[in-house]
Copies of this chain bind each other. A is one copy, B any other.
């Protein structure tokens, strides 16, 4: 049995004020073609279908068209879940009726407990959820973090395990041991917690993960496919791909990556203004999305205008002496930009009260902040 594993499509994403619908359409078409060529038995999308709870209509239309192509042109079933960027309620619309057509959108816990059998393999799909939601659903007051929430869900799934049948889990999570995040993922929880140990997934022969945008294996049977395109300049060096997974009846699993090409690449370019402008005419990829770091010293007149004349898609411009340098203030700013909310809280607390916050105070802060975020995202969704 063979399936295609992808994740983090982020349809509707706006990148430096640009709508990416055409780039995303270009990428999703490749995924459909790969699924056809590899003759897979299923396509798995591990969350973050959309970039936000209420995506723009073009994103809705693109997702609809992609589902239709996979199901109708290829006759291949789809297994998918909402990620932390999606609204489970909105993603779940129609899901019950769509299952008949082979589109398995698992958007609630009760559905998550029942396996989806495809080609001799049982797929379990777990929608992304805040610990508080799992707490309410499971009735277990001890569920306070992503780790315990995941354990609780998998425990309940276990009742529907069939011995000697290969099992695949589809989940959207930050698994401990994975490499650092990119700039384009939204943290799953405040203060850097929220990781789930990799042995939580020991019951599964393969775990198809979403959330981190760099393709990577956390263990030999617990993989991130990564996003199919670059969503931040910190991903410039990624090789974007989808993962093809082959599952033997014995449960042994092998995987390989198939690269995905971008319509326009996302690149970092560094150099002196005059040199960069001079190099443009021979650059065959000068309409890539660029972050340019200028190494000139001294004043530069209309640098962005001069660059855009030759590189039309310069999205970000920096001067090296402004971002590096030994200037204390700049380095403090940079430190602060990298600090988590909890670190900022501790630093503020220390400045005001001249002592570190206690564990209870830190927890209280984190809970309040999580509640606030949840409230904000609900309010945002409700007002739309």
Contacts and interface: CB of A to CB of B under 8 A. Distances in A.
Contacts of A90: 57, 60
Interface stretch (A95-103, A124-132, A364-372): A95-103
B96 A98 contact: no
Contacts of A54: 54, 384
Contacts of A94: 64, 67, 93-94, 98, 103
Nearest to A78: B97
A379 to B, nearest CB: 11
Interface in A38-81: 54, 56-58, 60-61, 63-64, 67-68, 71-72
Nearest to A381: B57
Contacts of A103: 94, 97
A101 B94 CA distance: 10
Nearest to A88: B57
A87 B57 CA distance: 8
A357 interface: no
A122 to B, nearest CB: 23
A92 interface: yes
A382 interface: yes
Contacts of A87: 57
A108 to B, nearest CB: 10
A101 B93 contact: no
Contacts of A302: none
A64 to B, nearest CB: 5
Interface of A: 54, 56-58, 60-61, 63-64, 67-68, 71-72, 87, 89-90, 92-98, 100-101, 103, 381-382, 384
8 contacts: A56-B382, A57-B89, A57-B381, A64-B96, A94-B94, A98-B98, A101-B101, A384-B384
